[in-house]
Amino acid sequence: MKMYMKNIPVNDQAVGLAFYTEKLGFNVKHDIPLGEHRWLTVTSPEEPDGVELGLEPSVHPATIAYKEALVADGIPISAFQVDDIEAEVRRLESLDVSFIQPPVKAGGAIMAVFDDTCGNLIQLIELVE
């Protein structure tokens, strides 16, 4: 058994698609109309056949409450690993991505947290020795 997909709930799929492709650099894997919403997934250009990230509409009341509670407590909904967090933070800031936590060392990692403009906090992590 292996992971196939993980979901990020987004307030608006078009906004989510723009952010995750234009700012983060992910590539569209699937974009299939399904009535009011879409089956919309992206993948990392570093792992095009890896785990897909589903940009899931935040329409269920439980999802809305869950996202709001995580953001209120400053808890990221997901994390993405990078090789050089300082360079990635600079790159994203140059694209007007808003960081709520600058890079900070914690144990064997350096972490930063940004707002994905879709109602979520996302953590970047660089593993260090």
- Domain-by-domain residue ranges, the chain? 5-127
Cα separation of 14 and 83, whole Å?
28
Q: What is the pLDDT of residue 21?
A: 98
Residue-wise pLDDT tens digits, 21-41: 999 999 999 999 999 999 999
State residue 25 phi and psi, 5-degree precision: 90, 15
Tell me: the pLDDT tens digits for 100-122? 999 999 999 999 999 999 999 99
Say whether domain 5-127 belongs to CATH 3.30.1360.10. no
Report field, pTM of the whole predicted structure over 0.75: yes
pLDDT tens, residue by residue, 36-79: 999 999 999 999 999 999 999 999 999 999 999 999 999 999 99
- Rounded to whole angstroms, the Cα distance separating 56 from 44 reads 17
Q: Is 74 exposed, middle or buried (0-12, 13-18, 19+ CB in 10 A)?
A: exposed
